[in-house]
Amino acid sequence: MRMKHLFISVAIAASSFAAAAQAANITGAGATFPYPIYAKWAEMYKATSGNGLNYQSVGSGAGIKQIKAKTVDFGASDMPLSAADLNEAGLFQFPAIMGGVVPVVNLPGTTPGQLKLTGAVIADIFLGKITKWNAPQIAALNPGVKLPDDDITVVHRADSSGTSFLWTDYLSQTSAEWKTKVGAGTAVKWAVGVGGKGNEGVAANVQRIKGSIGYVEWAYAKKNRMQHTQLQNKDGAYLQPDDDGFKAAAAGANWAGTPGFAVVLTNQAGKASWPITGASYILVHKSQADAAKGKEVLKFFDWAYKNGDAAAAELDYVPMPDAVTKLVQDAWRANVKDAAGKAIW
């Protein structure tokens, strides 16, 4: 009964936000990873400015397609596009928020954060090589934990997803076999498992299927009181997911020196670094056919940079550092222009 209630609460939150966004002034689409914070920021911004935002949580791949087709005012992706891809599409990219992806399980008899996993073991589970929860590879990481002789059901994303990119990029760095057979990407050929659309769909499937394992953004795991695991990082430390771990992973990022701000934060060095950390990116056209709409998009994210940190922390995201937002705003002036070539910011 409780699991049913939690699933319904996600649906109600999504539908109520969609209803509130009917009168939106700007539209965006893409990553489900940042949906909770974009929804909260939109609510706060509407109350402050009277201007609305309609954000469609449809996955990074769909968001990229929609901004390229110019059916929305901005796209959102958790996988940064390369400088070549940005130039080809006439797009500009900037980071809006950071957070972490976490493994989640439905394993009665264990408690949240009790189970320890490594990237190599997760890769073998997702490759279909480890099929039981009491398999020797899992038992060796969890001495003293009573593991059931239950089948493992893998739950993965069914849509093109930046969350999947972060997940598979981490697995590619920790498992040579995964890198060779599957690799990293927003959409990969999964060896086993059942799919769910969006972080919402993966969360719902894991809650429904006993013995399952999946991956979601940390805010989804906390909001739905899901059973997360510890995860081994590059330095060999087993960590619980939290803001400090996400901040530690982002601490050494070279934002200024990376074209298109295309920083990937998976498997960063440092004992305190959560290994599946990532930034979520906003995509806008460099040449804005509707300069007023383009400026409103930038105004919204400028407001979020200046006023959204407390809400982000409340939902377990990591705000962009002030030094990075200054770089981004300078880049807006240099790159985002109206049809006549005049800067709109």
CATH number (domain holding residue 205) = 3.40.190.10
Domain contains 164: yes
Whether residue 223 sits in one domain with residue 119: yes
Position 260 confidence tier, pLDDT thresholds 50, 70, 90: very high
Whether residue 184 sits in one domain with residue 84: no
Q: How many whole angstroms separate alpha carbon 324 and alpha carbon 207? A: 37
Domain that holds residue 183: 101-250
pLDDT of residue 276: 98
Whether residue 105 sits in one domain with residue 76: no
Q: Tally the domains of the chain.
A: 2
Domain contains 270: no
**What is the tally of helices (H) and strands (E) in the chain?**
14, 14
Question: Residue 323 belongs to what H/E stretch?
Answer: helix 322-335
Mean pLDDT for the stretch of residues 121-130: 98
Whether residue 118 sits in one domain with residue 93: no
Position 23 confidence tier, pLDDT thresholds 50, 70, 90: very low
The whole-model pTM stands at: 0.87
**Per-residue model confidence as pLDDT tens digits over 145-180:** 999 999 999 999 999 999 999 999 999 999 999 999
Domain contains 271: no
Domain contains 233: yes
Name residues whose C-beta falls within 8 Å of residue 110's C-beta, 6 or more positions apart in sequence.
145, 146, 147, 227
Whether residue 91 sits in one domain with residue 106: no
Q: How many whole angstroms separate alpha carbon 10 and alpha carbon 334? A: 40
